[in-house]
Amino acid sequence: MELTKRNFKTAWRDPLSLGITIALPAALLVALEALGGAFGEGEAPFLGATLLTPGIALFGFVMLMFSSAMILSRDRESALFSRLLTAPLSSSDFVVAYSLPYLAVAIIQGILVFSIGGFLGLELNGNAGLVFLILFVMSICYVGLGMAFGSLMAVGPLSGAYTAILLLTIFGGAWMDLEEIGGVFQGVANALPFAHALDATRAVMADRAGFGAVATDFYWVLGYSLAVVSLAVVVFRRRMLE
């Protein structure tokens, strides 16, 4: 808990970076929704508020992934990390302590994005709690990726990892219809958790789908999240031993 408090303070002591991380997804939602409106009603459905908002939420999680990776990578390269390793903490303790501050920011991001979406005409016809659950589990996956990248990489190469995950998120259906693209591209996207998270949340929001209807997508996301967090713990343990 002490390390978690320290990481909370580190995150919140940079209000400019934190403000951009929280506000930029909301600003992007407004811009893309306005762009969709310029095409005319029905011409760009994936740029409407209901289908677009979950994709923007995932875009915000990519930013959190990068921020969490940065703080861990910077600590690894400092003398602080050597001192932290003298504490009676396991690798899972470290991963949790570095993750919790960013999961809290993910909740704030989501509330803001969905609030802005509501003003833009977002329709939430299904269970809001189920939408929150799906996106929260997905945020764990992104922060887990941040922990894994932060354990493996120095600060410099992290921008490449950020770009790769951002592109996978966008082309996973964040603001495009994978059905229209089809082919190998769609197959690759469906093998990753991003498309499943988007499909599940959109089905709940637009079609009032219950848990049974989106269970496969949800378990796909949950499986990836558990695997990524486990990988982060294993990689961090290896760094501790080194």
Q: Which residue has the tokens 């303070």?
A: 9
Q: What are 159-207's pLDDT values in tens digits?
A: 999 999 999 998 888 877 777 777 787 888 889 999 999 999 999 998 9
Residues 3, 88: Cα–Cα separation, whole Å: 12
Q: What is the pLDDT of residue 180?
A: 75
Range of weakest confidence among 49-53, 180-184, 230-234: 180-184
Q: Which residue has the tokens 């945020």?
A: 139
Q: Which residue has the tokens 């095409």?
A: 39
The rounded Cα 68 to chain-centroid distance in angstroms is 11
Q: Which residue has the tokens 């998120």?
A: 169
Note whether 91 and 236 are within 8 A (CB): yes
Domain boundaries, the chain: 2-241
pTM above 0.85, yes or no: yes
- Among 146, 149, 170, smallest CA distance to 59 is for 170
Residues 226, 137: Cα–Cα separation, whole Å: 9
Q: Residue 39: is its pLDDT beyond 70?
A: no
- Span 102-113, average pLDDT: 94
Note whether 58 and 169 are within 8 A (CB): yes
